[in-house]
């Protein structure tokens, strides 16, 4: 169990901070992987449940920056990865529960340092002042018994929520810039036109 609070990030002795790597998602081989798809600001906002103003502020202050493509001035659009959108939704949930922005910033930094490995299996707990990372049910129980955790965010649930939301929205292939149509039934006509054009 690791904690972040008061602007500091700590770790338990002898535990590595994790390694970066792809996330195991249940997608078919025909679908582009999350590593090759980016999402523009409005799409990231819709999936994370935040306003564009929040997104812009968090990017400008370095809280959650787009890892695929930052804005280079007027006319360029930020492009967020799937993982970025998951972090945006986690930040929103923490803000909604009253966690101080400096503690959220420390938690996001801690997740970055871990390389987001095991993110899907992680639970983030907070008492409002400190954010704790729990990677096993035993750690959650220990934290609750110690009276430190008031609420938790099961990151796997956020992960699935974001995945479901993004499957209904448009993405963009990072390598070609091609717009990928979501699974929204209202987009069936656009999908048929695209298939005929190919």
| DSSP letters spanning 9-56 | E---TT--------------TTSPPTTSEEEEHHHHHHHHT--HHHHH
What string of pLDDT tens digits covers the 198 residues of the chain?
555 544 333 333 222 223 333 333 333 333 445 578 999 999 999 999 999 999 999 999 999 999 998 877 776 789 999 999 999 999 999 999 888 888 888 888 877 777 666 677 788 888 777 788 887 888 888 878 877 667 788 888 898 999 999 999 999 988 888 888 875 544 445 555 556 665
Taking the C-alpha atoms of residue 43 and residue 34, their distance in angstroms, rounded to an integer, is: 15
The reported pLDDT for the residue numbered 44 is: 96
Radius of gyration of the chain (CA): 18
Taking the C-alpha atoms of residue 32 and residue 30, their distance in angstroms, rounded to an integer, is: 7
The reported pLDDT for the residue numbered 55 is: 95
The reported pLDDT for the residue numbered 3 is: 52
């Amino acid at each position: 169990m690791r904690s972040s609070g008061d602007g500091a990030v700590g770790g338990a002795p002898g535990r590595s901070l994790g390694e970066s790597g792809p996330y195991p998602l249940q997608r078919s081989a025909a679908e582009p992987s999350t590593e090759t798809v980016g999402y523009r600001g409005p799409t990231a906002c819709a999936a994370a449940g935040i306003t564009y103003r929040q997104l812009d502020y968090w990017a400008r202050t370095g809280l959650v920056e787009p890892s695929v493509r930052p804005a280079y001035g007027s006319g360029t659009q930020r492009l967020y990865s799937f993982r970025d959108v998951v972090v945006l939704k986690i930040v929103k949930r923490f803000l909604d529960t009253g966690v101080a922005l400096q503690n959220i910033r420390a938690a996001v930094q801690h997740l970055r340092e871990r390389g987001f490995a095991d993110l899907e299996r992680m639970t983030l707990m907070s008492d409002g002042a400190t954010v704790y990372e729990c990677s096993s049910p035993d750690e959650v129980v220990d934290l609750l018994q110690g009276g430190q955790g008031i609420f938790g965010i099961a990151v796997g649930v956020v992960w699935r929520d974001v995945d479901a939301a993004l499957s209904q929205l448009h993405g963009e292939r990072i390598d070609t810039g091609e717009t990928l149509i979501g699974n929204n039934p209202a987009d069936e006509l656009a999908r048929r036109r695209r298939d005929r054009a190919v």
